């Protein structure tokens, strides 16, 4: 097994445990619609190698999402948001592809720059958080509240992911 895949497996386990045991208890607000949660586990999907196959992306998204669902006692909400994020990732990568193509295997700040990674993470986290809150509430009558929670959840989750990336700055 390639050394980079071992890193991805370790990252997978670490993010699931971090999200399920620590970040789950970090939230802003009280209960109900005021509660805004931090979501960092999508970072695993963001940091998979650029040329990962679509099937592997979808399987990885489902696996990390369903494991987080086990910690949250949520019936597939995280899994469905993670699968959507994994599904949209190749499109987002094409949208932000540098003129000379992708020379690096993994989309990180070190390989593609802070501005590129910030936009890439913002786009995918926006998709993920909006899908997550939409499915969590699943009520069109509360669209305004869903959008408000998604906006705040996005800002906090994206900021936390950027802080993690700036702190650890992985090569792959």
Domain-located, residue 95: no
Local structure of 75: helix, strand or coil: coil
Tell me the two tokens of residue 166.
């700036």
Compute the distance between CA of residue 2 and CA of residue 38 in angstroms, rounded to an integer.
Answer: 32
For the stretch 93-116, pLDDT in tens is 999 998 888 877 889 999 899 999
- Greater confidence (89 vs 74) lies with 89
Q: Hey, how many other C-beta atoms are within 10 angstroms of the C-beta on 94?
A: 8
Q: What confidence tens digit (pLDDT) does each residue in 116-162 have?
A: 999 999 999 999 999 999 988 877 777 888 898 899 899 999 999 99
Please indicate, yes or no, if residue 128 is contained in any of the structural domains. Answer: yes
CATH number for position 111: 1.10.1760
Tell whether 69 is covered by a domain: yes
Q: Establish if 94 belongs to a structural domain.
A: no
Looking at the domain assignment, is residue 148 inside a domain?
yes
Confidence check: pLDDT of 1 > 60: no
Pairwise pLDDT comparison (168 vs 138), residue with the higher score: 168
pLDDT at residue 31, as a whole number: 61
Decide if 98 is inside a domain.
no
Instruction: Kindly state whether residue 50 falls inside one of the protein's structural domains.
Output: yes
Q: Which residues does residue 37 pair with via DSSP β-bridges, in sequence order?
A: 27
Report the 10 Å Cβ neighbour count for 71: 16
On whether residue 91 sits in a domain, the answer given is no
pLDDT in tens, 18-67: 899 887 776 666 665 566 788 999 999 999 999 999 999 999 999 999 99
Q: Measure the CA–CA gap between 172 and 162, rounded to whole angstroms.
A: 16
Instruction: Please tell me the pTM assigned to this model.
Output: 0.89
Euclidean distance between CA atoms 46 and 109, whole angstroms: 11
When divided into structural domains, the chain yields a total of: 1
CA 73 vs CA 65, 77, 91, 131: distances in Å: 12, 10, 31, 18
Six-digit token pair at 83?
């699968």
Q: Tell me which residue range forms the domain holding 29.
A: 3-86+105-168
């Amino acid at each position: 097994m390639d050394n980079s895949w071992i890193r991805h497996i370790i990252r997978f386990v670490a993010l699931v445990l971090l999200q399920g045991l620590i970040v789950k208890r970090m939230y802003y607000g009280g209960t109900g619609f005021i509660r805004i949660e931090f979501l960092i586990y999508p970072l695993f999907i963001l940091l998979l190698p650029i040329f990962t196959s679509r099937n592997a992306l979808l399987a990885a998204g489902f696996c990390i999402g369903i494991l987080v669902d086990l910690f949250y006692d949520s019936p597939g909400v995280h899994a469905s948001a993670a699968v959507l994020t994994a599904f949209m990732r190749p499109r987002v990568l094409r949208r932000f592809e540098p003129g000379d193509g992708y020379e690096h295997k993994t989309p990180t700040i070190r390989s593609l720059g802070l501005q590129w990674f910030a936009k890439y993470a913002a786009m995918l986290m926006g998709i993920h958080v909006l899908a997550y809150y939409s499915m969590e509430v699943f009520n069109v009558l509360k669209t305004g509240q869903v959008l408000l929670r998604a906006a705040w959840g996005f800002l906090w989750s994206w900021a936390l992911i950027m802080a993690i990336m700036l702190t650890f700055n992985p090569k792959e």
